[in-house]
């Protein structure tokens, strides 16, 4: 616990003095720690929606839907206990390791577009990670319960800590943000690896053709990767912001 605390403090000091002060935001830490990550996050969301809209219109020559693509890849990987199901949430595609369900949004599930194939293959990449006991995915699954507790407690901790000036709660809040930061950090290799697998498998199985189709898959998956980097930056910003709030009270 103490080591984690020390690490968080050092991280804050290093980033504040070494990187961010020369930019010149002076005392307005929240601008840098909250607003800048929020803008990066919105920009990443716009990019991923734009990439999906563009490459969602381009039909792949293999002419199979996202669902068929996922099932073919699962079969080739000899994974027979994962269900591919349709979900109504737009861009709500995900793999649920607890129920071994591969959920694809309607636009991906039913469509033979370059974007749909990229996303379906990415989610199947998570199922393959699970089947192969890929270590970062196991670590991510292990940290999910504590991450949920931390994020549910945070609003109350912040209200008590900041509005009522309870320093102990600010410290607790810093631990919570640290847990969320670790979660986002572990998410990065899990997501990058799923996309890496997807790109290789799609080409190997001939589901997307070299040239425009491969380029489209890359655009969509790289845009999606940006949103995870943005989430990590936001988590880092939150942690630094609360550290700067604590420093002001000392
Ligand atoms: Zn993913």
- Measured in Å, residue 153 CA sits from the centre of ligand 1 at 26
Question: Are the C-beta atoms of residues 79 and 128 closer than 8 Å to each other?
Answer: yes
| Domain count of the fold of the chain | 1
221 inside domain:
yes
227 inside domain:
yes
163 inside domain:
yes
CB atoms within 10 A of CB 63: 8
105 inside domain:
no
Question: Are the C-beta atoms of residues 35 and 235 closer than 8 Å to each other?
Answer: no
- 235 vs 250: CA distance, rounded Å: 23
Predicted pLDDT at 249: 63
- 38 vs 36: CA distance, rounded Å: 5
pTM score of the predicted model:
0.85
- Measured in Å, residue 165 CA sits from the centre of ligand 1 at 39
Q: Which residues are catalytic?
A: 123
Q: What burial letters (b/e) apply to 29-47, b meaning 16+ CB within 10 Å? A: beebbeebbeebbeebeeb
89 inside domain:
no
48 inside domain:
yes
- 138 vs 140: CA distance, rounded Å: 5
Predicted pLDDT at 2: 30
Predicted pLDDT at 166: 86
Q: Where does the chain have alpha helices with state H? A: 2-14, 29-30, 36-55, 66-76, 106-109, 114-131, 135-158, 167-204, 212-249
29 inside domain:
yes
Predicted pLDDT at 40: 96
Domain that holds residue 182: 2-60+133-249
- Measured in Å, residue 225 CA sits from the centre of ligand 1 at 8
- Per-residue pLDDT in tens (0 to 9) along the chain, 250 residues: 233 333 333 333 334 433 443 333 345 678 889 999 999 999 999 999 999 999 999 999 999 999 999 999 999 999 999 999 999 987 789 999 999 999 999 999 999 999 999 999 999 999 999 999 999 999 999 999 999 999 999 999 988 888 888 889 999 999 999 999 999 999 999 999 999 999 999 999 999 999 999 999 999 999 999 999 999 999 999 999 999 888 876 5
C-alpha torsion sign, points 50, 56, 59, 64: positive
- Measured in Å, residue 194 CA sits from the centre of ligand 1 at 6
Predicted pLDDT at 248: 74
- Measured in Å, residue 246 CA sits from the centre of ligand 1 at 35
Q: What residue has token string 């999906």?
A: 52
191 inside domain:
yes
Predicted pLDDT at 5: 31
């Amino acid at each position: 616990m103490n080591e984690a605390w020390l690490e968080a403090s050092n991280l804050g000091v290093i980033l504040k003095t070494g990187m961010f002060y020369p930019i010149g935001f002076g005392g307005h830490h929240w601008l840098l720690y909250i607003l800048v990550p929020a803008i990066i996050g919105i920009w990443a969301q716009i990019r991923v929606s734009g990439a999906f809209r563009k490459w969602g219109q381009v039909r792949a020559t293999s002419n199979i839907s996202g669902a068929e693509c996922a099932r073919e890849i699962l079969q080739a990987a000899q994974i027979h206990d994962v269900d591919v199901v349709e979900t109504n949430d737009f861009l709500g595609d995900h793999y649920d390791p607890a129920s071994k369900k591969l959920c694809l949004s309607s636009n991906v599930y039913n469509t033979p577009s370059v974007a749909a194939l990229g996303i379906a293959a990415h989610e199947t990449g998570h199922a393959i990670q699970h089947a192969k006991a890929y270590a970062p995915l196991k670590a991510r699954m292990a940290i999910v319960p504590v991450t949920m507790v931390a994020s549910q407690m945070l609003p109350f901790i912040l209200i008590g800590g900041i509005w009522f000036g309870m320093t102990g709660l600010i410290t607790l809040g810093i631990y919570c943000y640290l847990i969320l930061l670790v979660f986002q950090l572990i998410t990065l290799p899990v997501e990058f690896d799923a996309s890496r697998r997807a790109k290789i498998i799609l080409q190997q199985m001939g589901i997307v053709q070299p040239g425009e189709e491969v380029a489209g898959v890359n655009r969509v998956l790289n845009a999606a990767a940006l949103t995870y980097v943005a989430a990590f930056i936001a988590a880092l910003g939150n942690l630094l912001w609360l550290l700067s709030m604590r420093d002001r009270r000392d």
